[in-house]
Each structure stands twice: as structure tokens, then as C-alpha cells.
Structure 1
Amino acid sequence: MKIGVISDLHIDSNQKAMSREKDFSRSLADQLNQQAVEVLLLAGDISSDYRLSQSFIENVKQQTNCKILFVPGNHDFWSRKNGETDTAGIYTYFKEQEESILERPFLLNDEWAVVGNAGWYDYGYADQKQYTKADFDRMKYRIGAWNDKYYVHWNEKNQVVADWMLGKIEKDLQQIGERKVILMTHVVTHPEFVVPLPNRVYNYFNAFLGSRSYETLYQNHPIAYSIMGHVHFRKTFQDNQTQYICACLGNKKHWSNKNEIEAEIKRTLVTFEI
């Protein structure tokens, strides 16, 4: 079975980089078809509006026979166009979609399962000595802010949300028996994927890139592959039994070729076989 991995498509902002005759969903579907991908793991941040993100998934499905499995990213919980503020309701909306693995592990076969959740950030990768929990809760550093402050409304502290999602993943892992695990989150779960410290800016902003507490998952479960996104770069990394894959398309400024979306999707998409 051939598995494909990609994240952080940001189709709303990246659409500006495409010519009018090109369609973003067509470009991704063409690449999935050309590479004969059977299952696509889409690790969040399709767009900055949850309904647009779900519509994109459905458009890709219509153009390929590839099975799509999805966890939302922080941007997918936004509703900038419609101004909706019920983030828990948006989570429920995604949970009810066919492609979602939120609280619903997907059994690939008798040996493998895909388990995961969006994940949230627990501040663990930031400089805990320089900043306090209250500093991180403000989500604002000097004149800059982490935009989830304005567009995501859990009505809970971030660390509470991160722990809640970790609990969901732990519960799902109990349901899959002895199968080997492909874990998918949006936030990063290994220090190799955050900015090395010290760093003048990321001493603070690393707080919002991932969750150190999620590292316990690798100690307690047979996770063979760990899929993530969020950080807008591309990297694979082997640590003990786990292959970590971060395959972010990211924004146009991260692309090698600023005007060729198809080529950039091809460069970004990571595949492996099980």
C-alpha cells in the first residue's frame, strides 16, 4: 500500500500564486494519480476557513481514487470569512466528516492503523526560564502576536486543549489492538522540528509550534511513522523506531519555484509503502 503525506497547503493564500486556468485541487489530485498514491495523509492547514478546507477535500476526492485521511490544523479551525467563534463546534464538524480521524482510528489492514488528532501546543518547546505560563497565555510578544489568539476560541487555556487532545489520542491507541501505528498530528511532537534555542524570537514563539508532552506517545506505543506539519518546512528524521515526516507545502515564500504549483506539490509530497 502506497501512502502519501502532505500538509499546510494554505490554498486561500497560495491561490494567488496560481494562474487563473489552474485549480489547486486538480494539481494535487494529478500528483496523487501520477504517483499512484492509495492513501493520502493530510496533516492540516488546508485553509483559514473550515468549510473551505472541507470543500477542498471533497473536490480532491472527486478527481482521484485515493483514500484521504485528515486531521485539521490550527488554521482549519479559523473562520475569518464568516466570523464564527465556536471552535468546539468546528471540531465537532470535522469529527463528523468521512475523511477525519478525530476520535476515529482508521484501520488500514490487520497490521497497520492511522491514529491521531489535530494536537495543540503546550508551550513545552519554548524557553521556560525566560518566560512564564502567563506570558505564553497572552500569545503576544512585543508588537507581534500568534494569530490563533484572534481566530481560535476554545474557551480554555492552550495547555488544557493540548492535554485534552493528547487524551483523545491515547484513547484511540487503545482501540487498535497490536497494530503498528501511523500517528498524525498537525503540531510537531519532536524537538528536531522546532527552532533551535536560543533564538531571539523563537525563545517565545516555539511555544506555539508543538507539544513536548506528546513525546510520551513514542515511549508507550509502537509508532512506526509520525506525520506532522505546522512549521512550514520539509524534513524527515529517524529516531529510534519512529520515522518522522513533516511535508509542508507552506506559503509561496517557502517554494523553490514561485510560479509552478504542480512542481512544488511534487517536491513536497512524501510517499512510503507499508
Structure 2
Amino acid sequence: MKIVVSSDNHLDVNRISPAEALAFQAQYLNQIKADYYLFAGDMFNDFLKTKSYLEELNDLITGQVFFIAGNHDMLKNVTFTQLESPLSPCYLHNQAYDFPNSAWRLIANNGWYDYSFSPQLDVEEVARWKKAYWVDAGVNQPLSDLERMNLVITQVQEQLTAAKTAGKRVIFLTHFVPHCDLLWARPAHFSKPRYERVYEMVNAFLGSQKLADLLEAYPNVYYTFYGHVHGHHPALTHGQLTYFNQAVGVRRRHEWQAADFENQWLASLQEIKIN
């Protein structure tokens, strides 16, 4: 089975025609005979648009589409309670899917963050900075960030334990960064204290080291796909587990390595084959 993964297309931010992107992506996925297309979040700044786009893509390809939500998808037309619900046959947050006639299981979780990538910062100060400057201040959320990440860990642990009991090999899909070694390299010009502080604040909202610690405690987890950080991020292998980033990114921030969206999407795709 051929599994193709993408994330962080940001069609609205990148000013890409959804109809043109949909046609191109469907044509390519059918051309390479992809059995599954996984999307790890951030298609639009609107969950309903993301949901509609990926459901339509699912109808256009011969394979199956599964997706989770990124923080940008969560900004409009969805509540926290709804995100925790099975909103679509294609939406796989906190769910598992067994690939037919194989020993493999896909486990998906939107994920979140708990400031653990910046442990030197005061938690309350980070929370205030988020409300003032970070895009996620607009996300509907009845929990604190730390409480939400603890919920993620509980959910993922239950899913991983069930997979281990069932004798399944696991492919894990999430949006946020699962390991500190996967963060952006510190820019050379961020040597001044003011820039250093911004860098650490941003890192606080990228993910959680708790997730990597959990995933790596289960020897049946072989692949983890994540997004959220843009730019080129080489695969990272710890033991039997390999982490892959497949984010397209935002062109105006100079995050593309290709000249146009189609080629950037193609260049950032990750593909694996399982038996």
C-alpha cells in the first residue's frame, strides 16, 4: 500500500485557487495510484473549508483521504467540543484505522503544546504573550494549553496501548512538533536578548516533548508524521521510530524551496509503502 502525506498547504494564506489545487492534487494522487492520502492539518483558516476540501478530494481519488486539524483550521467555524467529535468519515482525530490485510494501524491526533520546548520561561507569562501576539489566541478552547496537552497524551497513550495489545505496527499522524530535535534551528541574527526571547516564546507553542517520550516508549511505533513548522526538515530516526515533516509552508515568508505551489507540494510530500 502506498501512503502519501502532506500538511500546511495554507491555500488561503498562499492565495492559491482551491479549485486548481484540488484538480492538480487529485490528478497526481490518481496518477501515482496512492492508496491513502493523509493530511496533517492547516489547509485553511476555517475548519469547514478544510473539511469540505478534503472530503471533495476524497471523492475525486481512487484512494482514501484522512485528515486531522491544525491550529489554523481551528480558527473559524469549529468548537473544541466539535473537534473532539467524529465530524467526518475523513476526520481521524483521536481515532485509529487498521489498514486492510496488514499488521499496520494508523493512529491520529491533532496534538497541541505545553511550553515544554521553552522550560526556562514562566508559564503564566507565556500564556499572556500568546493572548497578545499568537494566532492561536483565536482558537476556541475551554482548557489551558497544559491541560489540553495532557488530554492529548492521555488519548494517545490509550490508542498506543490498544495497538500494542492488538499486535499492530503503528503509523502516527499529528500536527504539532513531537520532539525538541525537530524544532527550527536558531537564526544566527537572533543573538540579541529581544530576539532570543521571541524565539523561545515561539518554540513554546510548537509542540511537546512529552509526545516523543510517549511514542518512543512503544516499540511498535515506526513512523510519525507532523507539520506546523515550515521549511525543510530532514527525517529524524530515534531507534525504530522515524519522524517526517511534510509541510508546504508559506511563500511570502520565504519558506518555499520551489518556484510555485504545485512543485512545492510535490517536493514536500512524504511517501511510504507498507505491506
Q: Residue in 1 aligned with 2:268?
A: 268
Query: How many matched pairs?
Result: 259
Distance 2:104 2:94 in 1: 17
Q: What are the superposed Cα offsets for residues 112-133 of structure 1, whole Å, 9 maximum, x if unpaired? A: 001121000011111x22x201
Alpha-carbon distance change, 33 to 162 in structure 1, aligned in 2, over 3 angstroms:
same
Partner of 1:124: 116
The separation in 2 between residues aligned to 1:237 and 1:70, in whole angstroms, is: 22
C-alpha separation between the residues in 1 aligned to 2:232 and 2:97? Answer: 25
More moved, 196-205 vs 186-195: 196-205
Q: CA deviation at 1:197?
A: 5.6
SS at match of 1:62: helix
The aligned residue for residue 169 of structure 1 is 156
Question: How far off is 1:241 after superposition?
Answer: 0.8
Candidates 96, 100, 124, aligned match of 1:105: 96
Give me the identity figure in percent. 26
Alignment of 1:154-165 (within 5 A): 154-165=141-152
Distance 2:6 2:242 in 1: 15
Listed as ranges, the gaps of 5+ residues in structure 1 are: none
Matched with 1:138 is 128
2:65 matches 1:65: no
Whether 1:90 aligns to 2:82 is yes
CA shift for structure 1 position 17: 4.5
Residue 29 of structure 1 aligns to a residue in which SS?
helix
Secondary structure, counterpart of 1:174 in structure 2: helix
Q: Deviations over 1:144-169 (max 9, x none)?
A: 711101x1121211010011012111
Give the match for residue 247 of structure 1.
246
Q: Following TM superposition, by how much is the alpha carbon of 1:218 offset from its aligned partner in structure 2, in angstroms?
A: 2.4
Residue aligned with 1:244, SS: strand
Measured in 2, the distance between the counterparts of 1:262 and 1:197 equals 29
In structure 2, give the amino acid aligned to 1:256.
Answer: Q
Partners of 2:223 and 2:241 within 8 A in 1? yes
Q: Paired residue for 1:195, among 166, 184, 188?
A: 184
The equivalent of 2:32 in structure 1 is 35
Structure 2: give runs of 5+ residues left out of the alignment. 191-195
C-alpha distance 180-90 of structure 1, shift in aligned 2 (>3 A): same
Cα displacement (A) at 1:65 = 1.1
Report the counterpart of residue 193 of structure 2 in structure 1.
Answer: none
Among candidates 25, 30, 52, match of residue 49 of structure 2: 52
Task: Please report the TM-score for the alignment, with normalisation by the length of structure 1.
Answer: 0.88
Taking the TM superposition and a 5 Å limit, the aligned residue runs for 1:195-234 are 195-196=184-185, 200=196, 201-221=198-218, 222-234=220-232
1:31–1:262 Cα contact (<8 Å) kept: no
Are 1:182 and 2:171 an aligned pair?
yes
SS at match of 1:153: coil
Query: What is the distance in 1 between the residues matched to 2:82 and 2:199?
Result: 29
- d(CA) in 1 for partners of 2:105, 2:180: 25
TM-score normalized with structure 2 length: 0.87
- Cα separation, 2, equivalents of 1:152 and 1:140: 11
8 Å contact kept, 1:13–1:251: yes
